[in-house]
Amino acid sequence: DTAVSQTPKYLVTQMGNDKSIKCEQNLGHDTMYWYKQDSKKFLKIMFSYNNKELIINETVPNRFSPKSPDKAHLNLHINSLELGDSAVYFCASSQNWDRGPSGYTFGSGTRLTVV
Amino acid sequence: AQSVSQHNHHVILSEAASLELGCNYSYGGTVNLFWYVQYPGQHLQLLLKYFSGDPLVKGIKGFEAEFIKSKFSFNLRKPSVQWSDTAEYFCAVLSSASKIIFGSGTRLSIRP
């Protein structure tokens, strides 16, 4: 049983397209995240949702929009893709945010390549 | 600004050598510290974490880390590495609720 699953694993698309990455967790966690790992392997948080409510929204272009239909899902929609969006995007979840998480469970990542 | 620094970008060791990867953070408040590992082609996995108590933390696969508050450090150690330890290692700090900051990572290559 995959705890945090992301789809697709690989995504190759042309500049200007709109694409979505889906994330689901079956751990019963309240908090979910999207991280971006750039070509230098540096991870940066993009968004965090707690019980479907946005609690972290780092400085990312408005083209990126997270959507959380329920607390087990956090999808990432990207409009008008640009070359610089090429990266690996990781979804993660944690049990709770206000008492401090015991750790994060990460998905396997989605490698996005914009051509 | 809160930050995490991993000064070793790439470390190359022979099997059975001892390992120490440096991690320094800048944050004056109470910190929760983590080390994550990313094996080739896989997702991040938690190696160990420090929240409070004994500053010497034992993790999985024989790894340990020591929290030294006066030095703002949380270095990762392993007395004898194996080829299977080849991976990317990330130090991270949770500086406030849910705001986790990662270091840039250290690539560890082990020669068989």
Return the pLDDT at B7: 87
Q: Specify which residues B46 forms β-bridges with.
A: B36
- As assigned by CATH, the class of the B3-111 domain is mainly beta
Q: What is the mean pLDDT of chain A?
A: 86
Q: Which domains does chain A have, with CATH numbers?
A: 4-114 (2.60.40.10)
Cα separation, B95 vs A77, in Å, equals 28
DSSP assignment string, A83-106: GGG-EEEEEEEES-STT--S--EE
Residues on chain B touching A45 (C-beta within 8 angstroms): 99-101
Cα separation, B104 vs B106, in Å, equals 7
Return the pLDDT at A99: 41
In this predicted model, what pLDDT tens digit does every residue of B37-79 receive, in sequence order? 888 877 678 899 888 889 999 998 999 999 999 999 999 999 9
Residues on chain A touching B65 (C-beta within 8 angstroms): none
Cα separation, B4 vs B23, in Å, equals 7
Return the pLDDT at B19: 97
Interface test with A, best of B100, B104, B107 (most A CBs within 10 A): B100
User: DSSP character for B97?
Assistant: T
To the nearest whole Å, the CA of B79 is away from the closest chain A CA by 25
Q: What is the mean pLDDT of chain B?
A: 88
Residues on chain A touching B34 (C-beta within 8 angstroms): 103-104
Cα separation, A52 vs B86, in Å, equals 37
Task: Give, rounded to a whole angstrom, the gap between the first and last alpha carbons of chain B.
Answer: 40
